[in-house]
């Protein structure tokens, strides 16, 4: 037989596009439209409904960037349409290729009841099925004219990312406002043909099943009268029943479809617009749930649920009912889908505390899965945190974006730094916006790495962001693929149902140890430095506020600010969302973030000051309050007292220019260029700086990645570097115990102050940059005379090791990585730490000298600033201040201690007496990350700590108050039933910890 397959396939495409799809709506009449443009920010629904609109015609331009327009559409259903299904078709000027990235609308009835959202792939509103004829139609559309920031030519600099710079040019043209007859039979024929056509294209060209479909499609097309599609659609559908009824083979891959709409809590739109995006999507999904009995929708991010509850109570009522019916599922158990690389230990824990508690309080639902499809890589401390929150599964997707290496598993156990393992799934469909296309389903089945051992995968299904979620077309396609020969099987299921099945069928999956590093978006560790700095400082201020407020509450009856701390924590957690903290949002988002962090700092400093004054009492003695988890200057961790005065630092001229700093522990030479050419550890008789090199060196690179400007730095940036060695001045400063260096480069200026604190083995470098570069990358380099094949980077509740070599493509791909407060490198018996107060990105390389002793040197470079132009064309412009310290002779414990000290500077106030710590720990390897009162208001003291050196620890925790009982709890402060209570003698509690083990104790006061 002649092969006419391509002929039939081409015929199918044209007939669908030009005849059958248009026949879904065979008759239509125009609606009358009027509009009111809200001045400024969005207005309440009542105000929008009450406003008097003016006339507007289809085709007219509307919508200034970030504006809100209230359309009123009115009309009458023709009497001749009685008995038929009628829908309103409301096209605001959509581009179907941009669901989620342009204008959107929420339809209301005249009484303010929300109906559903309008989106590029979801433009219809059901009027009646059937109608009686003659009905009056009145609908109100709250339309958001969000501008297209990420256009067909992506990553071009644009001023549209901030209302202050976006202008007032109308962004859209009103395209269609009609009442139309909906022919469901034709629509079902479209679904039949789309599913079969898409499946056919994925089958082998010589397979019998493909030809069965070709012949059935041919018969169906022959049955359609192209001049009267509606009358012949049912006849055409009958030709397809056989091929649609053929069941899947027993070995077919099985896909759990989960209705989903991945909504970035801020990205190419501000936070206030996300509130409305969530309302539109939840309106859509609750309406769809009412129409589709098998459909299940899952929504993550407790913050987004809270927004619906706060801002749209009428939508919240529908959501609550759907949750009660088991159809609308809270997922993920986190406050937002946060970045996981940069949030600190406590912040990462509180993401789960606040997220899970919201779903427990509102619905009594315990989330056991972490849901993070779009996060830019996963820190190695996360498995323990997930488990400590009472969860046991993880879903992610973004690892499929890695540029260099393809991840070897789709279902696996992920092992963290402490040995905790989490059952993890990485959907092979390779998208978190699955639309049920045949190509996506076939790709999932082919791509699944664990074939032969497992056959289940998950497909998050629906348009994300402002795309409106799952559509009726996706549900129709899934129904046809429930049991269809040649296809994977598809069934709507909750995340829990999927994980239970996947875990049961795969009892011994492979294990991946360590971080899940994303080989992409590495520059998110540096972009928008002030956002990152605000996050870091907010985390540490919250630690201080909880510590001193709890201490004062126990000691003096100070009113513990439960509600204030809860609110501030949630604000900080929101800003850890994976496009805010990483610096990949529009200018508006980061402008607001800077203001928010400033406000938070003021509030928290107020709490801290009030609590410390309550503790110190009235007096004239100078007290040092030590918030760090280790003692300093004679003051214990978590206590206050008079500081000891260590031996001073001297500064003297250096031969050949520059200065020498000396404090009895270190001798630091700063040359005439203002660069550190020697940092000599006197006790170890050891030089820190690599021979012939200089530390504290600023280096400037061009930085123009191939795409994803704010997100990416491509490895070729290293090919060109400019060392900033010219100094305008190198002068003694700080009363003669510091050196100030000033430099100018390009349009920017930098001032560095190098200090050697008395009695401490650390060189502190304060850097102030007035940054006005474009598409440049600024690094701070420390070439070290160390032979190190690996180095440690602090992460949540411990540290992770990375190689310094590039033996394999996996190692070479980690050319930019994340640390928290320190990186540490060591030879046996001697090491060096580089600590920071607010930076995350860094790189570490190794070199073998070709002269002298041919020794190995290792260079640590801290990433300071970038200057990408998309999506914020003014990224990082302005003044920035950073603090770093070089710590020669540091063991890993020194790195931990110095990192905390740099981030929790001492506070001095006058008072009457010293303050004893609320709790003490007798082992420096055991680091207390939180001291607070229990969230339930009981007055119990909660202490969270972990082993920080990577070894075993036996420690005694002593409470500074009478203890009636001690309980080991999870992160939500609930008793852990499988944990033995620690040994206790009065207020002394003995604990034994595994390497990096995290423990939370709840101490009931007598």
pTM for the predicted model, two decimal places? 0.97
| Residues 316/322/328/334 CA torsion (nearest 10 deg) | 40
325 is a catalytic site residue? no
| Residue 62 · residue 172 · CB < 8 Å | yes
pLDDT value for 247: 98
Among residues 374, 483, 923, 935, the one annotated as catalytic is 374
Q: What is the spatial distance between Cα 948 and Cα 628, in angstroms, rounded to a whole number?
A: 14
Q: What is the spatial distance between Cα 375 and Cα 396, in angstroms, rounded to a whole number?
A: 8
Helix or strand or coil: residue 886? strand
Compute the radius of gyration of the chain from its Cα atoms. 31
| CA-based max dimension of the chain | 103
| Residue 732 · residue 811 · CB < 8 Å | no
Q: What is the spatial distance between Cα 929 and Cα 899, in angstroms, rounded to a whole number?
A: 13
SS3 labels along 37-100: EECCCCCCHHHHHHCCCEECCCCCEECCCCEEEEEEEEEECCHHHCCCCEEEEEECCCCCCCCC
pLDDT value for 284: 96
Residue with tokens 């010293």: 914
Paired tokens of 914: 């010293």
SS3 labels along 640-691: EECCCCCCCCEEEECCCCCEEEECCCEEEEECCCCCEEEEEECCCCEECECC
Cα 595–154–870 angle (5° rounding)? Answer: 25
DSSP single-letter state for residue 631: -
Task: Name the nearest CA neighbour of 264 among 433, 440, 475, 472.
Answer: 433
pLDDT value for 734: 84
pLDDT value for 1: 61
Paired tokens of 613: 């004054």
Residue with tokens 């760090």: 628
Report the number of secondary-structure helices (H) and strands (E) in the chain.
Answer: 19, 53
Give mean pLDDT in consecutive 10-residue pieces for the chain, a chain of 1006 residues.
Answer: 86 98 98 97 96 97 98 98 98 95 97 96 97 97 97 96 97 98 98 98 95 97 97 98 98 98 98 97 97 96 98 96 97 97 98 98 97 97 98 96 97 98 98 97 98 97 96 98 98 98 97 98 98 98 98 98 98 98 98 98 98 97 98 97 91 96 97 98 98 97 98 98 98 92 98 96 98 98 97 98 97 98 97 98 94 88 98 98 98 98 97 97 98 98 98 97 97 89 93 97 96
Paired tokens of 308: 């619906």
Q: What is the spatial distance between Cα 396 and Cα 400, in angstroms, rounded to a whole number?
A: 9
Helix or strand or coil: residue 366? coil
Paired tokens of 834: 């580089």
pLDDT value for 854: 81
Q: What is the spatial distance between Cα 855 and Cα 478, in angstroms, rounded to a whole number?
A: 63
Locate the DSSP E strands across 162-207: 172-173, 176-181
């Amino acid at each position: 037989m002649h092969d006419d397959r391509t002929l039939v396939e081409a015929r199918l495409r044209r007939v669908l596009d030009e005849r059958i799809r248009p026949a879904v709506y065979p008759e239509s009449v125009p609606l009358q439209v009027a509009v009111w443009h809200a001045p400024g920010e969005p207005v309440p629904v009542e105000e929008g409904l009450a406003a008097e609109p003016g006339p507007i015609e289809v085709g007219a331009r509307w919508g200034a960037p970030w504006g809100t327009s209230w359309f009123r559409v009115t009309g009458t259903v023709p009497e001749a349409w009685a008995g038929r299904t009628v829908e309103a078709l409301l096209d605001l000027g959509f581009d179907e290729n941009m669901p989620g990235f342009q204008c959107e609308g929420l339809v209301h009835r005249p009484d303010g009841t929300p109906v559903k959202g309008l989106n590029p792939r979801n433009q219809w509103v059901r009027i009646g099925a059937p109608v009686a004829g003659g009905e009056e139609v009145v609908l109100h559309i709250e339309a958001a004219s969000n501008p297209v920031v990420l256009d067909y030519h992506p990553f071009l600099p644009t001023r549209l990312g901030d209302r202050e710079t976006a202008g007032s040019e109308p962004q859209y043209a009103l395209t269609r406002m009609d009442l139309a007859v909906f022919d469901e039979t034709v629509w079902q024929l479209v679904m039949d043909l789309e599913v079969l056509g898409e499946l056919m294209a994925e089958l082998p060209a010589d397979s019998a099943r493909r030809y069965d479909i070709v012949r059935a499609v041919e018969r169906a097309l022959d049955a359609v009268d192209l001049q009267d599609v509606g009358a012949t659609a049912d006849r055409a559908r009958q030709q397809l029943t056989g091929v649609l009824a053929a069941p899947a083979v027993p070995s077919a891959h099985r896909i759990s479809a989960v209705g989903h709409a991945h909504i970035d809590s801020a990205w190419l739109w501000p936070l206030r617009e996300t509130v409305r995006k969530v309302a539109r999507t939840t309106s859509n999904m609750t309406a769809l749930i009412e129409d589709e009995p098998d459909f299940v929708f899952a929504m993550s991010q407790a913050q987004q649920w809270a927004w619906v509850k706060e801002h749209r109570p009428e939508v919240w009522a529908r959501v609550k009912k759907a949750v009660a019916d088991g159809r609308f599922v809270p997922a993920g158990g986190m406050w937002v889908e946060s970045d996981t690389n940069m949030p600190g230990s406590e912040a990462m824990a509180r993401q789960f505390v606040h997220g899970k508690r919201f779903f427990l309080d509102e619905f009594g639902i315990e989330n056991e899965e972490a849901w993070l499809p779009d996060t830019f890589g996963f820190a190695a401390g996360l498995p323990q945190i997930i488990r400590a929150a009472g969860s046991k599964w993880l879903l992610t997707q973004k690892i499929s974006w890695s540029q260099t290496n393809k991840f070897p598993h789709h279902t696996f156990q992920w092992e963290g730094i402490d040995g905790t393992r989490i059952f993890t799934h990485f959907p092979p469909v390779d998208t978190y916006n699955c639309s049920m296309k045949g190509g996506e389903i076939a790709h999932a089945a082919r791509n699944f790495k664990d074939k032969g051992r497992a056959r289940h995968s998950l497909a998050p299904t629906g348009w994300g962001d402002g795309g409106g979620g799952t559509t009726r077309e996706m549900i129709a396609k899934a129904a046809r693929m429930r049991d269809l020969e040649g296809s994977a099987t598809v069934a709507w299921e909750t995340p829990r149902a999927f994980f239970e099945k996947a875990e049961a069928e795969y009892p011994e999956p492979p294990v991946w140890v360590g971080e899940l590093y994303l080989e992409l978006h590495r520059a998110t560790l540096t972009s928008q430095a002030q956002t990152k700095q605000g996050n870091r400082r907010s985390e540490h201020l919250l630690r201080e506020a909880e510590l001193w407020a709890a201490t004062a509450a126990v000691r003096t009856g100070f009113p513990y600010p439960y509600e204030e701390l809860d609110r501030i924590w949630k604000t900080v957690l929101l800003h850890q969302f994976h496009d805010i903290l990483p610096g990949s949002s529009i200018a508006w988002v980061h402008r607001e973030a800077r203001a928010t962090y400033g406000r938070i700092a003021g509030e928290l400093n107020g709490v801290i000051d009030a609590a410390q004054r309550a503790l110190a009492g009235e007096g004239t003695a100078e007290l040092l309050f030590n918030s760090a988890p280790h003692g300093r200057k004679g003051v214990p961790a978590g206590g206050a007292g008079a500081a000891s005065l260590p031996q001073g630092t001297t500064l003297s001229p250096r031969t050949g220019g520059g200065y020498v700093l000396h404090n009895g522990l270190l001798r630091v030479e700063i040359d005439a260029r203002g660069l550190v050419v020697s940092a000599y550890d006197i006790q170890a008789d050891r030089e820190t700086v690599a021979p012939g090199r200089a530390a504290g060196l600023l280096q400037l690179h061009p930085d123009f990645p191939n795409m994803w400007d704010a997100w990416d730095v491509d490895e070729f940036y290293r090919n060109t570097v400019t060392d900033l060695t010219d100094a305008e001045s190198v002068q003694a400063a700080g009363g003669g115990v510091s050196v100030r260096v000033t430099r100018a480069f390009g349009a920017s200026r930098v001032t560095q102050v190098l200090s050697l604190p008395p009695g401490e083995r650390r060189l502190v470098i304060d850097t102030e940059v007035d940054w006005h570069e474009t598409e440049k990358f600024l690094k701070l380099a420390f070439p070290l005379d160390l032979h190190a094949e690996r180095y440690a980077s602090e992460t949540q509740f411990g540290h992770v090791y990375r190689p310094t070599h590039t033996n394999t493509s996996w190692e070479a791909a980690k050319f930019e990585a994340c640390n928290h407060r320190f990186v540490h490198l060591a030879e046996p018996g001697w090491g060096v730490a580089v600590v920071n107060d607010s930076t995350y990105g860094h790189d570490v390389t190794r070199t073998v000298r070709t002269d002298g002793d041919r020794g190995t040197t290792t260079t640590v470079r801290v990433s300071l600033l970038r200057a990408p132009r998309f999506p914020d064309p003014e990224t990082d412009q302005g003044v920035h201040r950073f603090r770093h310290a070089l710590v020669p002779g540091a063991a890993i414990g020194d790195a931990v201690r110095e990192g905390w000290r740099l981030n929790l500077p001492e506070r001095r106030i006058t008072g009457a007496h010293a303050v004893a710590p609320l709790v003490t720990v007798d082992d420096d390897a055991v680091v207390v990350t939180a001291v607070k009162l229990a969230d339930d208001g009981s007055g119990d003291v909660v202490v969270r700590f972990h082993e920080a050196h990577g070894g075993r620890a036996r420690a005694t925790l002593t409470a500074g108050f009478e203890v009636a009982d001690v309980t080991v709890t999870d992160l939500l402060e609930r008793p852990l039933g499988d944990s033995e209570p620690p040994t206790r003698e009065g207020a002394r509690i003995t604990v034994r910890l595994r390497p990096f083990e995290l423990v939370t104790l709840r101490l009931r006061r007598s």
